[in-house]
Amino acid sequence: MLSSEALIMNLFVLSLALGTAFGDERLDEKPWKLGSFLGSVESISLDKSTSVPGLTDNNTLYLEANVPDSDRSWYFTVSTSSAVISVSDEFVKSNNLKVNIKNQNLIPFPSDYGVGGQIKTVTIPTLKIGEMTLNNVQAMVASSKGKFDSSAGNMHIGLGSLDVAYTISPSAGTISFAPSEQGNAIVQKTGTALPYENTGWAQVRYGKKKKIAAARNLLITTKISNVDTLTAIEAGSQNKSSIAWDTASENKKRFSKGRHQLYSQISTTGLEEKGWLTQKSGYHFGSNVHNARLTRDILFDYELSVSPADQTLALKKSETTTWTSLNSAKIPYLKKQTEADEEGNEADASDWSALAKMYYAEDQYKEALEAQQKVVELAPEKCEHWQKLGMIQDHMKDTDGALKSHMEASNRFHQWWDIDLDTRLDIQKSQKQMESEDIEAKKEAQKSLSLSDQPVWHHKQSSSCYTSDRHIALLQLSKEQFDAVSKTYERLDLDAGLAIVQGNAALVQGKLDLAESAYRQAIRLEDKPSFHARLGLALYFADQGEWRFADPLFAEAFTLRSESPITSSLWFDNARSNGEDTLKKAMNLKDSYPKSSTAHFLALREASILQNQEALNTLGSDLLPLGPNPNEHTISAQVRSLVILGNIEEANTLLDAHPSFADTPAMLIAKADIAAYSGDSTMALNMLKEAAKRNPYNPAVALFLR
């Protein structure tokens, strides 16, 4: 008899099969006349090719656009498979655009085609992208109510709405536009032309289900696992590449982060890749005629040229990528906003806060510190301002300054949120009813009081500061102030992270029961599965000799975060001590994560420890390439792999090539490997301890504080 779990899984698979059994069958299909209001351009002024920087936030591609007579730039997400143009309410307000309402007749029928509510649209007289001018742009306001194109965001431009040829070039870091008649030459320059097709907006019915099918562009035939598959090419979005459930079958599958995934060979003219595709159950139901979608997780380093005149495109893999950071592009405008106005009035704290946020995102900590100090000077009453200052100071290794700032944030947070709800509501009501003169007088009087005094004016504090105590505990743990960590833990409320820090402190001290209790508390409080809590519990069970519980927790932690070599090393060290065939286990993991430098490193490490020269030679001659944008974990795994192979000079060269990651815990651990290989055990231990001080939130790294 099947178990209840097996029965549930069988029903789940059956529902997926029924959901996609009829695939492309779309009934009662007819054009949707309102589609043009969601993205169209009356005319385009473009005499010759123009290029603009491609901007990224490491996930999505953006471009900069301007409205005449405005000194502000606007940043639109770019989509190659969409025809939607959408703008935010802020854009509408800033440019004094008139909002028009469409499809009012559908308001009483919220289920009809899934578009209850209203479509809000605007006409933008002129929008400039480089030397290209878009005239009378019809755009949807992103706050419209309804189900249209899920790929469209607040500021979004679907290139399918533009009758121009274009090239997205990772090597140049640009998006280039050219008159439509030049499209064929542009495509030929990139590679062999491939025909593509588009679909327009449609009202469709699939069985009893009715909805709007979004227009889709750049649909080509690819081979996925040797199956011809109609595929949408999306070079702008980082959303996971996907495939309809029953389109292709492969033996290599996994369930990761709540998603079923299929490892597939993907090929077409100009493209040869292997990668994980998310399998989607309700892929059809009239919404799509294509069965797969390739996004930037596959296409991030591919040049794409498109010619709408003859509906052809070409793909070519780039050697390098040179995209500009979106945040760095925003800094000049934000910096200008912090200047005093013509009357000498100083900028608001919010202006300085926006600038500090961008500097922080760009790792420009000195500039971020100066801006955030100005924020605190202008608005010291807000806990979130102190919290951000503490985070910047921590990055600058000012531990004492960071601890002081986080304590300021915590005290302000608790002064407000420790009041019971009814009393808080009464306070807000009474303060709201005061005369404006009294409000200002109370606020001014409050400035002279300390936090320990009875407040005469209550400042409502941001709920985001509930993590302040976690930051305090982390800094205390980095200073090995274990009793102070326990004292801070007494203020535990909703922050699972604070429980993890307490668990780490207890684990370092060998107080295993206390560690287990804290990690379990973290799991109870978490809003999504926590890598750190599961890793901490795995280490607890491993110390207790309960490998049957530890191993699946290590495996789950790896699934949640598969990029940490030190975490994975501890997993396999414990597996080896429990009699497992760790080389076989590592090779299986490598097969499941074929693009993971950490999985490759683990297999190489086990081959070295077990002195399997054949496996060592095979793995050593097949190191994974770093790729164009490696992070500190990828580089650390590569450096540590080179150390195993004895290529110390090459390892040092690789470290020197990435100075921005020099002080990260992952790189410090890699440097410790080099020091140990060179016989300097003292330096190696110092590096490991420094890594623990830099990242005591990771239970595996925190153990180096022992």
Q: Which tens digit of pLDDT belongs to each residue from 573-597?
A: 999 999 999 999 999 999 888 888 9
pLDDT score, position 243: 87
Q: Rounded to whole angstroms, how far apart are CA atoms 359 and 395?
A: 12
Q: Cα(539)–Cα(567) distance, rounded to whole angstroms?
A: 10
Equal CATH topology for 347-425+460-494 and 562-705: yes
Identify the pLDDT of residue 654. Answer: 93
Q: pLDDT tens-digit profile of 501-531?
A: 999 999 999 999 999 999 999 999 998 888 9
- What pLDDT sits at residue 628? 67
Mean per-residue pLDDT, 211-218:
85
The span from the CA of 215 to the CA of 84, in Å, is 8
Q: What is the pLDDT of residue 73?
A: 92
Alpha-carbon Rg for the chain, nearest whole angstrom, is 28
For the chain, give the number of residues: 706
Q: At what angle do helices 632-644 and 613-620 cross, to 10 degrees?
A: 140
Mean residue pLDDT of the chain comes to 87
Q: What digits encode the pLDDT tens for the residues 438-475? A: 788 877 787 777 777 778 778 899 999 999 999 999 99
Residue 77's pLDDT is 94
Start-to-end C-alpha separation, the chain? 51
pLDDT reported for residue 1: 40
Secondary structure (3-state) at 481: coil
pLDDT of 242 over the 60 cut: yes
Locate 649 and state its tokens.
């000079």
CA distance 614 to 620: 10
CA-to-CA dists, residue 148 to 32, 105, 115, 381, 475, angstroms: 11, 16, 7, 42, 47
Query: Which of 103, 116, 191 minimizes the C-alpha distance to 146?
Result: 116
Looking at the predicted structure, is the pLDDT value of residue 21 above 50?
no
Query: Judging by DSSP bridges, how do beta strands 324-325 and 55-56 pair with one another?
Result: parallel
Label the pairing between strands 209-213 and 324-325. unpaired
- Sheet of 174-178: strands edge to edge? 50-53, 174-178, 165-169, 302-307, 312-317, 194-195
Would you give the DSSP letter of residue 160? G
Q: Point out the least confidently predicted range of 77-81, 241-245, 267-271, 410-414.
A: 241-245
Distances (CA, A) of 342 to 325, 333, 339, 598: 31, 17, 9, 56
3-state secondary structure at position 370: helix
Q: What pTM value is reported for the model? A: 0.83
Distance CA 214, CA 146 (A): 12
Output DSSP code: residue 219.
E
DSSP state of 99: P
Nearest alpha-carbon partner for 236 in 314, 163, 312, 293: 293
How many other CB atoms sit within 10 Å of the CB of residue 86? 27
The residue-averaged pLDDT of 423-446 equals 83
Which of 451-476 are b and which e, b meaning 16 or more Cβ less than 10 Å from the residue's Cβ? eeeeeebbbebbeebbbbbbbbbbbb
CA–CA dist 131, 247 (Å, integer): 43
455: amino acid identity, one letter: P
Q: Are 539 and 703 in contact (CB under 8 A)?
A: yes
For range 639-652, the mean pLDDT:
94
The full set of domain ranges for the chain reads 30-317, 347-425+460-494, 562-705
- Interhelix angle 565-577/665-677, nearest 10 degrees: 60
For residue 203, the cross-strand partners are: 30, 212
Percentage of residues of the chain with pLDDT beyond 90: 64
From the number of C-beta atoms within 10 Å of its C-beta (0-12, 13-18, 19+), residue 1 rates as exposed
Band the pLDDT of 190: cuts 50, 70, 90.
Answer: very high
- Name beta bridge partners: 39: 139
Q: Which amino acid is at 569?
A: S
Q: What is the pLDDT of residues 329-382, one digit of tens each?
A: 999 999 999 998 888 888 999 999 999 999 999 989 999 999 999 999 999 999
The domain over range 562-705 is classified in CATH as 2.40.480? no
pLDDT top residue among 288 and 348: 348
For the segment 248-262, the average pLDDT, to the nearest whole number, is: 75
Task: pLDDT band for 228, please (50, 70, 90 cuts).
Answer: very high
**Residue of 643, 631, 657 whose CA lies nearest to 604:** 643
Per-residue pLDDT at 208: 65
How does residue 112 score in pLDDT terms, banded at 50, 70 and 90?
A: very low
What percent of the chain stands above pLDDT 70? 90
CB proximity list for 261: less than 8 A, separation 6 or greater: 253, 254, 255, 276, 277, 278, 279
Longest Cα separation, the chain: 82
User: Minimal CA–CA distance to 609: which of 586, 637, 636?
Assistant: 586
Best CATH choice for the domain 347-425+460-494 from the list 3.30.930.10, 2.40.160.40, 3.40.50.300, 1.25.40.10 = 1.25.40.10
Report the pLDDT value the prediction gives residue 11, as an integer from 0 to 100.
Answer: 34
**Does the pLDDT of residue 48 top 70, yes or no?**
yes
Q: What mean pLDDT do residues 394-416 have?
A: 94
Nearest to 129 by CA among 86, 159, 169: 159
Q: Assess whether pLDDT exceeds 70 at residue 96.
A: yes
Pairing relationship of beta strands 132-141 and 85-87 according to DSSP bridges: parallel
Report the DSSP pairing between strands 242-244 and 227-233.
Answer: unpaired
The confidence score (pLDDT) of residue 563 equals 83
Spatial contact of 80 and 217, defined as CB atoms under 8 Å apart:
yes
Q: How confident is the model at residue 260 (pLDDT cuts 50, 70, 90)?
A: confident
Reference 615, options 654, 591, 587, 573; nearest CA is: 587
pLDDT in tens, 598-637: 999 999 999 999 999 999 999 988 888 887 678 899 999 9
Q: Is 421 exposed, middle or buried (0-12, 13-18, 19+ CB in 10 A)?
A: exposed
- Of the candidate ranges 146-150, 286-290, 702-706, the one whose mean pLDDT is the lowest: 146-150
When comparing pLDDT for 539 and 28, which is higher?
A: 539
Beta bridge partners, 275, equal 264
CB within 8 A of 657, min separation 6: which ones?
none
